[in-house]
Amino acid sequence: MKLSIALVCLLFGFISKGYALTCVSCTSSSQALCTGSSVTCNGANELCTTIYTTTTLELFGTTSTTYSLTRGCGQISECNEQKTLRNQIMTVNINTGCCNADNCITTEPTATINTQLNGLECPSCFQLSSATCVPTSKVACTGNEIQCTTYSLSSDSVPSKPYMAMEGCATQNLCANYNGTTSTSTLGKLRINITCDKAKKKNSR
């Protein structure tokens, strides 16, 4: 009887504190699923997530596409939330897949970029080997892109080396929480910096 009471108390304590998942933590510089050590999530509002990132560049008549994915713990609110940033040269599309079991494997969400113009526009520029760029034109925003963004990539090292800067349109959810790091097969670990402001109606001052 005493043993039964002890087990009930232990189970009640476990439930009241919330069950924390363990999730694989790793980064891949391709579409291939990566593996790594397990980390414990912070609480009941976190799931195992995989952030799928596709970056497309159109330079000098040539289109190149790179992929990366990052596995770990993430907020439930991030699940299946598509994020985009874009100008005439560069498009970044980010989707987060989630699953709810220890060290589970997510499924990549279906990503469809909304190309419908929404009447907003942003300053646009692109510059390699620089932390900043000077806008020389404007880009029309589409879909849920309601923010103007300044986006830069640099090496995650000391001193940091700038690789690219751009300005263009972005979705609100990307602006809110996508500063951080990522990895590519050619440049290694990179630091991402994003700042945003509200996009303005086309042709407004």
Helices (H), the chain: 2-17, 172-177
Confidence category of residue 2, pLDDT binned at 50, 70, 90? very low
The per-residue pLDDT for 112 is 74
CA 32, CA 48: separation in Å to the nearest integer? Answer: 17
| pLDDT(70) > 60 | yes
The per-residue pLDDT for 201 is 93
Can you read off the two tokens belonging to residue 51? 């952030």
The per-residue pLDDT for 118 is 94
| pLDDT(188) > 80 | no
Can you read off the two tokens belonging to residue 49? 């997530």
Query: Which of 27-31, 53-57, 118-122, 161-165 holds the top average pLDDT?
Result: 118-122
Average pLDDT over residues 20-26: 90
The length of the chain in residues reads: 205
- For all residues of the chain together, what is the average pLDDT? 82
| pLDDT(69) > 60 | yes
What are the φ and ψ backbone dihedral angles of 74, each rounded to 5 degrees?
Answer: -155, 165
Residues 106-141: tens digit of each pLDDT: 998 887 778 899 999 999 999 989 989 999 999 999
What are the φ and ψ backbone dihedral angles of 88, each rounded to 5 degrees?
Answer: -70, -20
Radius of gyration of the chain (CA): 20
Looking at 59-68, 106-115, 164-173, which range is the least confident one? 106-115
| pLDDT(36) > 80 | yes
The per-residue pLDDT for 183 is 53
Can you read off the two tokens belonging to residue 98? 């989630």
CA 19, CA 43: separation in Å to the nearest integer? Answer: 7
**CA geometry: angle 103, 25, 81, nearest 5 deg:** 85
Tell me, yes or no, if the pTM score tops 0.85. Answer: no
Q: Which residue ranges make up each domain of the chain?
A: 21-201
CA 128, CA 37: separation in Å to the nearest integer? Answer: 35
First to last CA, the chain: 77
